Chains A and B, each alone.
Chain A
C-alpha cells in the first residue's frame, strides 16, 4: 500500500459529513436525555417554575394588556432554553474536554464542525421540548390562549435564541476548569435570568435594574418572545436583535481567545 493511495468510496464529502453530523447529533441527544442530572434539571426547573408562577399563582391578572399567565410563559420559555444551551454546551463540552474524549475525537477524522453543530442542535431540541411543554401547560392548566402562529414563532425564536447562549457556554467551557464550570454556569445563569426580567417582570424591578437589563441577553430574548405574542415590548425589535448579536460576538471573541490559550498549552 503506498502512502498516497486512499480508496475512498464514491460518496460526496458533503453527504458523508452530513451523515456524520446526523449521527453525532442523535447520540448527543440520547446521551443528554440519559444524563438525568442534565435532563431532569434543565427541563424540570422551567416546568416547576411555570407551574408555580404561571398556573398556581395565576389569578387571571393582567400586566398592562398582557395576561400574567402568557407573560410568564414567555419568560419561562426563555429561562428554559437558556438553561438548555448553557448546560448542554458549557457543561457538556467542558466534560468532554476534561475526560480527554474531545482529544480522541479531534484525532479522528470527525469534522470539528459536526461536533459543535451536533451540540447546538441538542440544545435547540431541548429548547423546543421545554417551550412546547410550557405552552401545553399554559393552554391546558393556565387558560392561555395561544394560536398556532404564536407557537410557531416561539419555536423559531428558540432556534435563533439559543445561539448567543451556546456561544456563552462555549466560552465558559474553554475558559474555566471542568470542576468549576457547573458552579460558574449557575452563578451566571440564575442572576442573569433575574436581571433580564425572567422571574419577576421588569416593571416590578427598581429603576436602576431596568436600565441595567439592557446589558442582559436574557432581557432582549424575553422581549422578543413577548413580541412574538404581539405584545408591545420595551425598546424596538431591532434593538433586541442587535443586543443579542452584540452579545454573541463578544462571547465568540472570548471563546476564540480561550481556544488559542488552550492550544498553546497543549
Chain B
C-alpha cells in the first residue's frame, strides 16, 4: 500500500516504552446531541503515557466527538472524562495538552511567526521557538501570512500551534486530511518524532495506512462504539476473522474487471466474498491460485487484475461492516 506502511516493526525509530500510567480516559461515555444523534455510545478509552493511539473509523463514527470531549470543548451526556487525573476543563490540564482540530483554520492575516508567538504566550514553559519551527518544518516561511500558505503548510502551522506549549499529551484530529502524499509523509515523520520524544499522542484518522504506520495501538470505532482494539497486527487479524478466516496470511484479495456475477464468484471454492464497485470486482479468497485459474477460465475478457494481501484497510472494512 505504501512504503511507510511496509516498514517492518524493527526498522522503525526506537521509542520509549509506553507505561501503563493512564494520562487520559473516557469512561463509559455517551454523547447524545439535542437533535437525538448519539455520537458516542457507552465508549471507554484509555491513553497510556508515551503511546501513540490511533482512533480509526469512517466519517461520522464519533472520532471528533471523542477528541472534543477529551479537550473539554464538549461535555458528555453520561460517563466521565479524565485528563491527568482532572477534568479536561481544568486549567492545569490544559497547560499540558496541545491540539490540532479537524475544523481549525487560523486567521489568514497573521504571520506564521506571530501565531506561534501568540500560542507560546499561553503557556508558562513553552517549547523554544526555534525548536517549534524545526519540528513542524516551517523554516523559510515564518514571515508569511497564513493566507499565503498552501494547504500542507497551513496544517504544519496548526501542528506547530499544538506543540507550542511543549505539551505531554497531544490530540491530532485528522491531521493529514486533504494533504497530498508528500505533505502527508512529512506529517507522519513529524508525528513519529513526537513519539520518540516520549509524548502521548491521540491520532484520529480514516487513513488506515496512517494508523498502521504510526500507532502502537489502534482503536477502531464505528457508530460511537468500539469494534476492535489492539496493535495494528491484532486489529488486522480481528478483521480477517470477521471475514471468515483464521489467519490474515492465508486470505488474499483479488481485484479485477470481470463480467462474472458475484453470485457465481461466491460458488468458486475458497471464495468467501465478492463485491462490485463500479467496474472493479473485489474477491476475497483463501485459495488465491485456484480462484485465479477458475475466473480466468470463466471470463476470457477479464482484465486489470490485481492480487493483494489484506491490509488494515480490509480488516477495517470488515470490522465496520462496510464489506459484505
Contacts and interface: CB of A to CB of B under 8 A. Distances in A.
Nearest to B70: A107
Interface stretch (A23-31, A51-59, A206-214): A23-31
Given A6-B92, A265-B33, A110 B110 contact: no
B101 A27 contact: no
Interface string A83-122: 0000000000000100111011011111000000000000
Nearest to B145: A34
B118 A27 contact: yes
A104 B109 contact: no
A3 interface: yes
Interface size range on B against A: 35 or more
B119 A108 contact: yes
A107 B98 CA distance: 8
Contact of A104 (B34, B110, B161): B161
B94 A109 contact: yes
B118 A24 contact: yes
A104 B125 contact: no
B125 A9 contact: yes
B121 A4 contact: no
B232 interface: no
B99 interface: yes
B5 interface: no
A109 B73 contact: no
Contacts of A34: 109-110, 145
Contacts of A24: 118
A156 interface: no
B107 A11 contact: no
B15 interface: no
B105 interface: yes
A108 B94 contact: yes
Given A99-B105, A100-B103, A109-B122, A27 B33 contact: no
A19 interface: yes
Interface in B72-125: 72-74, 84-86, 91-92, 94-99, 101-107, 109-110, 114, 117-119, 121-125
Interface of A: 1, 3-4, 6-9, 11, 16, 19-20, 23-24, 27, 30-31, 34-35, 96, 99-101, 103-104, 106-110, 264-266
30 contacts: A3-B84, A3-B85, A6-B92, A8-B95, A20-B121, A23-B118, A23-B121, A27-B114, A30-B114, A31-B109, A31-B110, A34-B109, A99-B103, A99-B106, A99-B107, A100-B101, A100-B102, A100-B104, A100-B105, A101-B105, A103-B73, A103-B103, A104-B104, A107-B72, A107-B101, A108-B94, A108-B99, A108-B123, A109-B94, A109-B123
